[in-house]
Amino acid sequence: MAIRKDYFEWAAREFNPARIHEKPEALRGIRVLDLSVIYFGPATADFLGELGAEVVKVEMPGQGDVTRILGNASFFWKNISVAFFCANHSKYHVGIDMHRAAGQELIRQLAARSDIVVENFKAGTLEEKFGIGYRQLREINPRLIYVANTGFGQWGSFSRGRASYDGLAQAVSGLTAITGAGDVPTKIGNYLGDWFGACMSALAALAALHWRDRTGEGQFVEMAQCEGLLRAMDWTWLYAGLTGRNRAKVGNGDHVFAPSGVYPCADGYVALVAGTDGEFKALCRLIGQPALAKDPRFATRDARRRTEHARALDLAIGAWCVGRSRAHVEARARKAGVAAAPVMTAKDQITDAHLRARRTVWEHDDPVYGPMVECGPAPKLSETPARIRWAGKPVGFHNEFVLKSILGLDDERIRELYAEGAVGRWAEGRRGAGPPEDWKGEGVLQ
Amino acid sequence: MRGERPRPVDGPAWEEWIRQAEDPARVADKPEALDDLLVLDLSHGHYGALLTATYLAELGAEVIKVEPPGGDPARQWGPADASVNGEGLAFLAEARNRYHVTLDLGTAEGRRVLKGLAARADVLVEGYAPGHLDGLGLGYRQLKKINPRLIFVACSAWGQFGPKAKGQPAEYDLTDQALSGLLHITGDPAAPPVKVGSWISAYAQAAWGAGATLAALYWRGRSGRGQMIDVTGAEALMRYLEYTLLLQHASGHTRERTGLYEIAVFPYTFVRARDGWVFIAGYTDPNFGALCRIMDRPELTRDPRFNTALQRTQLENEVQLRDEIQKWSVNHTADEILARVLADPGPGIVVFGPMNLPTRTLEEAHWWERGCFKRVSDPVYGKLLLQMPAWRMTRTPPRLKWPCRPAGYHQDHVFQKYGGGVKKSLTRGVTGR
């Protein structure tokens, strides 16, 4: 049966991005207390925030999260690194010094009023050093879901004294060893272990929320970035278990689908895969070599994926792509029913009509930072669309709102907390922590 | 309300306590977070949709995989030089904890049976071409009429809406990596871009798909209403690209691939050790200090090329700094370097580890202690080594219950439980086992 004529108009109405802000939010009423730093932690809280949770981000007064100053000179914009914003949307920013007893007490008070806590300190740190670990907070709030993200886990022989970053997770998991080709390792260009791990831990937090809805019970949830990457290596382990061998590095080829490759075009690269016999026949016609489909070297998927046969196909496809534009290759392939996609750069994406129509390229106007373009939420929900409400803010920007509206403190107590140093804002002159130099007080909540 | 100084928690130290609370050997004694949910898996030749249902199944949902007579084409997906009972390893590795039925959706009776299942399901996950199920009368707009509480997750390459939604080709990991922008920034600047070795876009798509499903479920608990969720592997990965778009907007600087170097943080790279490649990082001032200390090169912290984070992230300085590190690292084994890293008293901390081949990773006791892998003896597929769920939960731990089963394996059970009216003859004919 064919696709109904009105399907795409119906879907466009159902997901209409112009109506996102009129619709409810899935996690409205859920409060997330974000005690984490850098990406693997803040991103977990951020993803829950995109889906509608209220996120309170706690930072060290004065300097705040290190991503505020991450990067080389090209990252600095409006007195802050652009690296900060991607994991810190729509949060309430409070500056609390967890080293001080009064600061720890504020965290306990916030945890008592929260549904989910997210942290990514070394295992045991918040309990032993600050008195705000899971065992302490669950005494105050037995319904609490406590999410802890680490490199290697809360326990086990690697967990003692070993810190981790995404790059280490790539290396130690074995993912680097199955990526690329040749001897020199390929470092994956983004911090994949952080982001994938953060996404997975947000998912587990929501499963725990479902359980809490059924029973009233909170729990401790943990995600280790190495274990996330281990889990995401499809058939690597099953293959090693059966054969005792490591899966071979095949660059941009694919062990299952052939042809599969990245081909130079006139204006960049294009990725192309023909995974079925039907797609392969269509590809042969597309590149003007229909006879290839009958060639015994290429007649079946098994034949096509033999190394030397796959290489021959790569040459034929590459020769056809050379001199053509990416858009031309993509359009012709699409018409033929073959999957081809431009290797997109940020420059391509930021002006892409499709990504803009889906609000994956998300333009917004922030009261403090002005017009911004960021990556919008990935999943599109028809009834409760995920969204960006505002951009990350300076350290302690929402102190008064958090201390008054959430904790119910009065002005006098707040003044004391400032005076003690338990609460604070950005340090004057500290790059990344404060507002842009030309800020005139816009966006302040009292 | 002045707080007190933290006092130790009564009972065992944290590490001991959490080890007990997460003990992999006791997982089966505990309840499952999602065991009140019924999920229909209509993934059909779509790895991201398959994985979406897998995550929900690991967390306890009852998942029924509906395959056409003859089975899901994804059953053939795997490397050329190994398979089990004709099943491709990619499918066998991930199609776990499911009930398998076959049903011919090309027939009116098959569609009727599917509607009967959908009327009772909480979630339906599909990976057909956008509009395909709708054309069969089994799309969200038709099924929501018989089950307004249904959460319908549609996985595709370009999504269900937007100018490129109509007429889109099949979804593949490589094309998703290309569209996401990850491909462009991975690899050496002087060579073509390089994709991540596993089908990572499918894993990302599933993490978003299952996560959004659970958020929708939470909202359904309050509103009584289901909804449709549209997830693409390309956008799933694109959201993981940090500052890429904002950097473009703010500075006009297009993020490019930088090979073993990094525009945001450095050192954060691979170098050669005496016995292979290793990863090493120490990019903040205190951590860089620690790195220089373990290399016995304290003067590098004062070197004007390297003395600030900004200096260290200048590309020409990165190249020189990596050379300095490698001059030292090639004279030591990975174990020797790790011993130094662990013995360093601080301040600062070096992040370090070897680049492991998968077979080496499998030798590390840590992963086995933590139950990341399991060797099972399966009555259908024999001895299998499988990766376990990625999360730990103290109250409702996720788990592997059984691996993949042949197409239609649970036909009688499922249609007895949910079919009621499905006659034996119909089960044989329509479902085509």
* B358: Cα separation from own chain's centroid: 17
Sign of the CA dihedral B130, B132, B135, B139?
negative
Strand partners, B156: B232
pLDDT digits 0-9 by tens, A178-233: 999 999 999 999 999 999 999 999 999 999 999 999 999 999 999 999 999 999 99
Phi-psi region of A421 (alpha: psi -120 to 50; beta: other; left: phi over 0): left
With an 8 Å Cβ cutoff, are B186 and A279 in contact? no
Q: B255 and A210: CB-CB below 8 Å?
A: no
Residue B424, pLDDT > 60, answer no
- Picking from B1, B232, B366, the nearest residue to A152 by CB comes out as B366
Does the distance separating the beta carbons of A184 and B5 come in below 8 Å? Answer: no
Task: Determine the average pLDDT of the residues in B119-136.
Answer: 98
How does DSSP classify residue B416? I
pLDDT class of B421 with cuts at 50, 70, 90: low
**Would you call A15 an interface residue with chain B, using a CB distance cutoff of 8 Å?**
yes
Residue B1 confidence (pLDDT): 38
* Identity of the residue numbered B172: Y
Inspect the interface and report whether the beta carbons of B393 and A172 lie closer than 8 Å: no
In this complex, the residue of B196, B250, B375 whose CB is nearest that of residue A188 is B196
- Cβ–Cβ gap B394/A220 under 8 Å: yes
Using CA coordinates, name the residue in chain A closest to B56.
A207
Predicted local confidence at residue A66, as pLDDT: 94
Contact B248 A221 (CB under 8 A): no
Of A157, A228, A346, the CB nearest to B245: A346
Half-sphere exposure of B130 (CA within 13 A, CB side): 28
Strand, coil or helix: B155: strand
pLDDT of the residue at B423: 56
Angstroms from A430 CA to nearest CA on chain B: 15
Please state whether the predicted TM-score (pTM) of the whole model is above 0.95: yes
How far is B428 from chain A, CA to nearest CA, in Å?
23
List the single residue in A with minimal CA-CA distance to B186: A189
The pLDDT of residue B431 is 53
**CA–CA distance, A269 with A345 (Å, rounded to integer):** 10
Looking at beta carbons, which residues of chain B come within 8 Å of A108? 3
Model confidence at B8, pLDDT cuts 50, 70, 90, reads confident
Judged by CB atoms closer than 8 Å, whether chains meet at A350 and B82 is answered as no
Q: Are B99 and A267 in contact, with CB atoms under 8 Å apart?
A: no
B400 touches chain A (CB under 8 A): no
Handedness of CA A341, A346, A348, A349 (dihedral sign): positive
pLDDT over 50 at B74, yes or no: yes
In this predicted structure, what is the pLDDT of residue A162? Answer: 79
Instruction: State the SS3 of chain A.
Output: CCCCCCHHHHHHHHCCHHHHHHCCCCCCCCEEEECCCCCCCHHHHHHHHHCCCEEEEEECCECCCHHHHCCCHHHEECCEEHHHHHHCCCEEEEEECCCCHHHHHHHHHHHHCCCEEEECCCCCHHHHHHCCCHHHHHHHCCCCEEEEEECCCCCCHHHCCCCCCHHHHHHHHCCHHHCCCCCCCCCCCCCHHHHHHHHHHHHHHHHHHHHHHHHCCCEEEEEEHHHHHHHCCCCHHHHHHHHCCCCCCCCCCCCCCCCEEEEEECCEEEEEECCCHHHHHHHHHHCCCHHHHHCCCCCCHHHHCCHHHHHHHHHHHHHHHCCCCHHHHHHHHHHHCCEEEECCCHHHHHCCHHHHHCCCEEEEEECCCEEEEEECCCCEECCCCCCCCCCCCCCCCCHHHHHHHHCCCCHHHHHHHHHHCCECCECCCCCCCCCCCCCCCCCCCC
Distance from CA of A291 to the nearest CA of B (A): 23
Q: What's the pLDDT tens digit per position in B355-394?
A: 999 999 999 999 999 999 999 999 999 999 999 999 999 9
Q: Is residue B245 within 8 angstroms of chain A, CB to CB?
A: yes
Name the residue of chain A whose CA is nearest to B360's CA.
Answer: A174
Contacts of B165 in chain A (CB under 8 A): 8, 11, 354
| Cβ distance of A246 and B359 shorter than 8 Å | yes
Side-chain-facing half-sphere of B366: CA atoms under 13 Å: 20
Determine contact: A36 vs chain B, CB below 8 A.
no
Give the pLDDT band of residue B430 (cuts 50, 70, 90): low
User: What is the pLDDT averaged over residues B90-100?
Assistant: 98
Ranges of chain A with pLDDT below 50: none
A338-360: per-residue pLDDT in tens? 999 999 999 999 999 999 999 99
What is the pLDDT at residue B225? 98
Of B175, B230, B242, the CB nearest to A380: B230
Task: Tell whether A39 lies on the interface with B, counting CB pairs under 8 A.
Answer: yes
Residues of chain A neighbouring B227 (CB-CB closer than 8 A): 381-384
Find the mean pLDDT for residues B47-64: 98
Give the minimum alpha-carbon distance from A148 to chain B in angstroms, rounded to a whole number.
10
Q: What mean pLDDT, rounded, does chain B reach?
A: 95
Kindly report the number of other CB atoms within 10 A of residue A294's CB atom.
10
Q: Give me the interface pTM, i.e. the ipTM.
A: 0.98
Is A117 part of the contact surface with chain B (CB cutoff 8 Å)? no
Q: How far A194 CA sits from the closest chain B CA (Å)?
A: 9
Nearest to A156 among B140, B239, B370 (CB): B370
In the predicted structure, residue B299 carries a pLDDT above the cut 70? yes
Q: Which residues pair with B353 in a beta bridge?
A: B279
Q: How far apart are CA B145 and CA B152, in angstroms?
A: 13
Least CB–CB distance from B221: residue in A196, A213, A302: A213
Q: Which residues of A are catalytic?
A: 194
Angle at B339 (CA atoms; ends A123, A226), nearest 5 degrees: 45
- The answer to whether residue B427 scores a pLDDT higher than 70 is no
**Contact assignment for B211 to A235 by CB distance below 8 Å:** no
Span B242-269, mean pLDDT? 96
Give every CB contact of residue B121 below 8 A, 6+ residues apart in sequence.
B38, B39, B40, B147, B150
Is B354 an 8 Å CB contact of chain A? yes
Model pLDDT, residue A29: 98
Residues of chain B contacting residue A27, judged by C-beta atoms under 8 Å apart: 215, 218-219
Q: Which of B173, B163, B217 is nearest to B197 (CA)?
A: B173
In this predicted structure, what is the pLDDT of residue B433? 45
More confident residue, B124 or B428: B124
